[in-house]
Amino acid sequence: MWRQLLYDLQEGDTRALARAISFVENRVMGYEDLMAQLPASSIGIIGITGPPGAGKSTLVDALIGEMTGKGKKVGVLCVDPSSAFNLGALLGDRIRMSEWYEHPGVFIRSLATRGSLGGLHPMIIEISEVMKAAGFDYVIVETVGVGQTEIEIAGLADVTVVVMVPEAGDEVQTMKAGLMEIADIFVVNKGDRPDADLFMKNLRMMLAPAFNRNQHETEIIKTVATTKAGIPELYEAILRCLATDNEPAKKYWLLAEKAHHLIQQKRMRDINKQQLAEKIREAGGNFNLYRFITGY
């Protein structure tokens, strides 16, 4: 089954791509064989992240328009919050990106976090690799807006775009330990609002120490996604990052992060929480937990 799926996927069959994602997402028997046979790809993954209400989906919608206007094929993974009842995606992107679902050069897939705290799907690495094998020019991953913990995207994306709004104010300080340090590009969206320029100035001042330490200036782009203002400049900034960030050090770091995640996931596969709870019950209430897990 997976061999035919792989063949159809590489032939550009959209239905095969949808099936392949479901095949991998649900860990159907044979999915690891499919993953092992995927061809190597240099297609860049663009991560779009930021706090709730920053306008990430609207920005992605505008970015898709800019890319397709240049004749590019775009694959989009939208990670939505999970439904509390069935763990499925809430599909908010279907409202904001509805015009692209019939476009021949665009493929959009909604994924649920399924309880993951980092704003991503547990199988996001595998699914993004499937997307890269489907012949897109770019793969965009939009994460859930969950705040400071949403830094897993840095280990997945070749370019990380952090979207903020002028009203963020003191919120910038609380995000410094997380989102502030993973950005390749900052987008100040809703830039037509009051104090947008002041916010950008303060953001540059906060980034100055990091620039002096890393010798790599993080670009700040002002946009108004609803009117497409600043979107061409954002696209050009992304292209610059894709061109310059293919340096060996970052490439190997990204691969190491992905490998660590996959190895961790594979080794934890046989750990069953219910069985673990039963063994702890059998061990009694008072025992050394560290000694217990060392011998597990």
Residue 122 counted as domain residue:
yes
Higher model confidence: residue 284 or residue 27?
27
Do 154 and 224 sit in the same domain of this protein?
A: yes
Residue 266 counted as domain residue:
no
Do 29 and 59 sit in the same domain of this protein?
A: no
Do 17 and 78 sit in the same domain of this protein?
A: no
pLDDT digits over 121-146, tens only?
778 889 999 999 998 999 999 987 65
What DSSP letter does each residue of 208-248 carry, written as one string? HHHHHHHS-PPEEEE-BGGGTBTHHHHHHHHHHHHHHS--H
Do 239 and 150 sit in the same domain of this protein?
A: yes
Residue 291 counted as domain residue:
no
Residue 261 counted as domain residue:
no
The domain containing residue 239 runs over which residues? 41-246
Residue 47 counted as domain residue:
yes
pLDDT digits over 65-91, tens only?
999 999 999 999 988 765 444 444 455
- Where does a domain end: 223, 246, 269? 246
Count: domains in the chain: 2
Place of tokens 């306008």: 55
Q: Could you tell me which of 277, 51, 242 has the C-alpha nearest to residue 162?
A: 51
Instruction: Give CA–CA dist 122/99, Å, rounded.
Output: 28
Other C-beta atoms within 10 Å of 130: how many?
A: 26
Which CATH number covers residue 119?
3.40.50.300
Do 236 and 138 sit in the same domain of this protein?
A: yes
Residue 278 counted as domain residue:
no
Instruction: Give CA–CA dist 286/276, Å, rounded.
Output: 16
H, E, C per residue of 21-74: HHHHHCCCCCHHHHHHHCCCCCCCEEEEECCCCCCHHHHHHHHHHHHHHCCCCE
Residue 93 counted as domain residue:
yes
How does residue 94 score in pLDDT terms, banded at 50, 70 and 90? low
Q: Is 9 helix (H, G, I), strand (E, B) or coil?
A: helix
Do 193 and 77 sit in the same domain of this protein?
A: yes
Higher model confidence: residue 196 or residue 251?
196
Do 55 and 21 sit in the same domain of this protein?
A: no
Residue 180 counted as domain residue:
yes
Name the region of 104 (left: φ>0; alpha: ψ -120 to 50; beta: rest).
alpha
Higher model confidence: residue 74 or residue 170?
74
For 8, phi then psi, to 5°, come to -65, -35
Do 113 and 144 sit in the same domain of this protein?
A: yes
Do 94 and 21 sit in the same domain of this protein?
A: no
Other C-beta atoms within 10 Å of 277: how many?
A: 10
**Least trusted range by pLDDT, from 181-190, 227-236, 261-270, 283-292:** 283-292
Do 116 and 232 sit in the same domain of this protein?
A: yes
Residue 284 has pLDDT above 70, yes or no: yes
Higher model confidence: residue 237 or residue 283?
237
pTM of the model: 0.82
For residue 88, what pLDDT is reported? 45
pLDDT digits over 219-263, tens only?
999 999 999 999 999 999 999 999 875 556 766 777 787 888 788
**Least trusted range by pLDDT, from 148-152, 188-192, 230-234:** 148-152
Do 31 and 47 sit in the same domain of this protein?
A: no
Instruction: Give CA–CA dist 245/43, Å, rounded.
Output: 13
- Give, as one character, the DSSP assignment of residue 185: E
Do 32 and 47 sit in the same domain of this protein?
A: no
Name the region of 54 (left: φ>0; alpha: ψ -120 to 50; beta: rest).
alpha
Handedness of CA 167, 173, 178, 182 (dihedral sign): positive
Q: Could you tell me which of 54, 52, 59 has the C-alpha nearest to residue 145?
A: 52
Higher model confidence: residue 273 or residue 127?
127
